[in-house]
Chain A
């Protein structure tokens, strides 16, 4: 039997999970939760590229999700764009903004980078909250229908709303994971990982540190933006919460919980943190408490994250 590469193994596992889990859904509601996990997984895959590969932190990535989400609300109304093009527009705006902001910001390291990105995220959410005439302020704004489901129906594929978004987000996540995994093996990915080890060492072997970091930042911003767009389109509604500080923190927590170094791990983390409040509604009150606790405990005891730690343990026992 030919040995599977880690890349195709990851993609196979993901695809199988997406395809098989619906058979165990007791009700249609679970399609919605599944779609939410995939969307979070997509955003978190972007964090893997930035934090897991390149070792750079961003506490403002929800800002890009906000841009993606509001692009889907505003571009169809004000520019007459089709919602699918609005997703693209949001991604382009996020990418360009990440490039502009990232050039000066990414010269910074550690704490300074964290605070600069945090400030950026807060600025975006401030604009979304304050420009009421455009964004509807804290109350949020309606988002037009994507329309793809209707199209599929015309072609004879009749899915419920929940089913459609489940599979659609699942496919987008697969594409996102595929790109991230390819990036991991590309020269850029190797350069990123070299950066993670030591920026100075990476620089001395001729890696253009600033350019590579900027690339990772832009790519991860696009991931967050597309995820934000999907949330907006699926809910047909969006509020500035999507760009809020807590959402940025959630993204980072999901990534480190599952294991920021691996795409599958991070998606696993996204799954757990998305399911937790759903599974235990009583947890709603305790959500922040649990989130904070998870961040601390994982970073203190399981620095690689949950999935890599579990896998290592299993492997250790198998031998």
Chain B
């Protein structure tokens, strides 16, 4: 029982990271119908920039803030320089462009930073908390809490603010949104900034637990995508639930089956979901996209 609880905790922790990545996918997908394969690189940059800024003498919170802002700026640059010029291109073209962006960012991170594995201290110490027969790291609570806060924040943004509704309108019908005076280009830019910032935040929160290096992005992207798809592509609630589920499945695979093949779990889930319920758990409702 305590074993199961322990796996549950670790599953929820990584699941929260995947959920944040999945939310990032969802935001961009909704605004532009683009699946941004560079999403995982945002997570990597969040961790790497924070580490280097911290190592350069900046206090950790400031370093983290810098990482999130810089990554958001990069997200905007990718949209402006690579996605917008290719608007209307076939999907295969867009896939290659965003993968190119991902490979490029990875290559740049290798040069600007290094090839080492990095970590920085947990935000509120390393003393594990006892819950029943299991323990949980305080940092795990930061990650899980972060995912929930971001989700609620997004929900409020999309339902309560004019700008958020403009994003929703654009995702429903780009042309109609333009006709009622919404600046859809700005909406796309905003989506990329938000999505990249959230990815970076995930990297900041997770690095004390999962470590970071220039090449961790692709793993996060794949699992975040699996989460987004499991929940139903384009649905933020689905992204949250799907991300957590992928994390749990991975942790259970590692605990009960094989730790070397825990990574395969996400892939198997992807395939099963695609074969048996392509709409995902929450389907895709075009009227109620939060």
Contact = CB atoms under 8 A, between A and B. Distances in A.
A289 B104 contact: yes
Interface of A: 51, 55, 57, 59, 104-105, 108-112, 114-116, 118-120, 122-123, 126, 130, 245-246, 249, 252-253, 256, 285-296, 299-300, 303
Interface residue tally on B, bucketed by range: 35 or more
Interface string B74-116: 0000000010011001111101110111111111101100000
Contacts of A59: 95, 99
Contact of A296 (B82, B225, B260, B271): B82
Interface in B206-256: 218, 222, 225-226, 229
Contacts of B91: 109-111
A300 B97 CA distance: 8
B274 A104 contact: yes
Contacts of A290: 107
B35 interface: yes
Nearest to B110: A288
Contacts of B225: 115
Contact of B270 (A51, A110, A116): A116
Rank and list the top 8 A-B pairs by shortest CB-CB distance, nearest first. A292-B104, A295-B100, A288-B107, A289-B107, A292-B103, A119-B267, A110-B91, A296-B100
Contacts of A108: 274, 278
Contacts of A289: 104, 107-108, 110-111
Nearest to B103: A292
B96 A295 contact: yes
B89 A299 contact: yes
B260 A130 contact: yes
Contacts of A256: 96
A296 B229 contact: no
Given A292-B100, A299-B86, A120 B95 contact: no
B186 interface: no
Given A104-B275, A287-B107, A249 B99 contact: yes
Contact of B101 (A115, A123, A292): A292
B277 to A, nearest CB: 13
B100 A293 contact: yes
A57 B37 CA distance: 14
Given A292-B104, A295-B97, A303 B89 contact: yes
A292 B95 CA distance: 12
Given A295-B96, A295-B97, A119 B104 contact: no
B266 interface: yes
15 contacts: A57-B95, A112-B229, A119-B222, A123-B267, A126-B264, A130-B260, A249-B99, A288-B104, A288-B106, A288-B110, A289-B110, A291-B100, A295-B99, A296-B100, A300-B85
A291 B108 CA distance: 11
A253 B89 CA distance: 17
B95 A111 contact: yes
A253 B229 CA distance: 26
Contacts of B86: 299-300
B189 to A, nearest CB: 17
A111 B108 contact: no
B123 interface: no
Nearest to A248: B99
A105 B272 CA distance: 10
